[in-house]
Amino acid sequence: MTRKTYPQIHIIGGGLAGCEAAWQLARRGHAVELHEMRPHRHTEAHITGQLAELVCSNSFRSDDAGANAVGLLHEEMRRLGSLVLSAADANQVPAGSALAVDRLGFSHSIETALAGLTNLKISREEITGLPPADWEHVIIATGPLTSAPLAAAIAGLTGAASLAFFDALAPIVYLDSIDFSKAWWQSRYDKPGPGGDGKDYINCPLTAEQYATFIDALLSGEKTGFKEWERDTPYFEGCLPIEVMASRGPQTLRYGPMKPVGLTNPHSPEKPYAVVQLRQDNALRTLFNIVGFQTKLKHAEQVRIFRNIPGLENARFARLGGIHRNTFINSPRLLDSELRLKAAPHLRFAGQITGVEGYVESAAMGLLAGLFASAEVQGVTLPAPPPTTALGALLGHLTGGANEDLFQPMNVNFGLFPPVAMTHTGSRKGRAPARKASYCARALADIDAWIAITGGPVT
């Protein structure tokens, strides 16, 4: 029997979304060409030329599919045969209840898997404008660092300028340079996560005086200057530089990344006033990133200020913090329910350029774009995932649920889901966990039903 052939599908961008879309399509028998401009042209944030390089945190956040929206998204994607989640699971490092990965191992797994598909071609080239007219099916997954020529072409096609904001990188420290006579190992409330033992974070305590000195240094430290075209670009609230958070009030960081709750300092009976945490960044357990410390401080200032943190006085940095421009489109205005550009339906968008925020959310949009493109090429209609699922809720927000006049990047969260019916019994404190568990149970049942109808993952 002759296998039916389909027109080639082009994917622009070899990040998480592009790689996930390519995997879903190639595994379904489609001819796919994945276009990635690195290493011939680098971005302000990437270091290697590998596909699916993680440029910010190495964490995919919570992996709790029973009580957390992003953990629920993990599980839905696993059930759909996600390459990104498979690679993350295979390269996991301890991080409490979070799913964190070895960066290089993760990227290598993605690249190896895609290279092994005979119907997928990886082209190392920059697409400097709108795709050629003879490309009938295209997925644009160029991510937050879309090259200027392509971004300008997209803006020209849509009739509206792409929105942009800044995203900041956190520093990474060598483990053997941390002073454990002051720091200690512990997860908050000793909670173990996948691959961990309840001691997955390194904690550096600060007294009230040390904390006040640290805040003053952050606010007075010399910052990276902006280019003229960057000056009016807003930050995404979920990834603010630490000095921007500090400028909102002296106690802001104590209720954010430096909160001291759930931790006990074995070196002192005095409760820490604030705590800096570091999380494992690679499988060899030699590198640890400073959690929540995205920054636009100049490199010399970072070394000076962060070495005043107890335990980091002699810290050696594998990477210092940085800052880069992030671009996304107004999806509620521009995209239809299958992630197609209304002005040019042969173009689909996926990943952070659609206005999702986070690694997993980006990959999720790549997964859906791949599934929608596969169905369209085969001449069938794929129903959207139910809005009660994490995939469906996120897609619905992008393609109509959000206010297009106020659209900003969004992580998956239970606020995007239809309300779940609850019987209000027990204490108020116990209602939130019960509600989250109900959201998750409903979503997993509904995604399983959707998978059964749509054919499920290709094995």
Nearest-angstrom CA–CA distance, 214 and 342: 49
Structure tokens at 345: 């339906």
Q: Kindly state the greatest CA–CA separation across the chain.
A: 77
To the nearest 10 degrees (0 to 180), the angle between helices 69-79 and 83-90 is: 110
Going by C-alpha positions, the residue among 298, 77, 255, 49 that lies closest to residue 168 is 298
Whether the CA torsion 114, 116, 120, 126 is positive or negative: it is: positive
Closest by CA to 322, choosing from 154, 185, 166, 158, is 166
Residue 121 pairs in a beta bridge with: 33
**Res 426: pLDDT:** 57
Give burial (CB, 10 Å; 0-12/13-18/19+) of 427: exposed
Q: Which of 134, 163, 147 is nearest to 15 (CA)?
A: 147
* Structure tokens given for 144: 């937050």
Tell me the pairing of strands 184-185 and 201-206: antiparallel
Distance CA 58, CA 95 (A): 10
Alpha-carbon distance 234 to 236, whole Å? 7
pLDDT of residue 424: 59
**Beta-sheet strands, E only, within 3-135:** 9-12, 32-36, 59-62, 92-93, 98-101, 120-124
The residue type at 434: A
Q: Which two tokens stand for residue 70?
A: 């992003």
Residue whose token pair is 């609850």: 422
Q: Are 278 and 176 in contact (CB under 8 A)?
A: no
Q: Residue 224's pLDDT is what?
A: 81
The tokens of 451 are what? 């998978």
Over the Cα atoms of the chain, what is R_g? 22
pLDDT less than 70: residues of the chain: 1-6, 42-46, 160-164, 166-167, 193-196, 226-233, 423-430, 459
Tokens found for residue 78: 């696993």
**What's the CA gap between 384 and 392, in Å, rounded?**
7
Query: How many whole angstroms separate alpha carbon 404 and alpha carbon 158?
Result: 14
Length of the chain: 459
Asked if 72 and 413 count as a contact pair (C-beta separation under 8 A), the reply is no
Residue 2's pLDDT is what?
A: 43
H or E element in which residue 274 lies: strand 274-280
Let me know if 442 is exposed, middle or buried by CB neighbors in 10 A (0-12, 13-18, 19+).
middle
| Per-residue pLDDT tens over the stretch 196-228 | 677 899 999 999 999 999 999 999 999 887 665
Q: With a threshold of 0.85, does the pTM exceed it?
A: no
In sequence order, which residues have a C-beta less than 8 Å from that of residue 362 and are 6 or more positions away? 15, 16, 17, 143, 350, 351, 352, 356
- SS3 call for 392: helix
Q: What is the pLDDT of residue 121?
A: 97
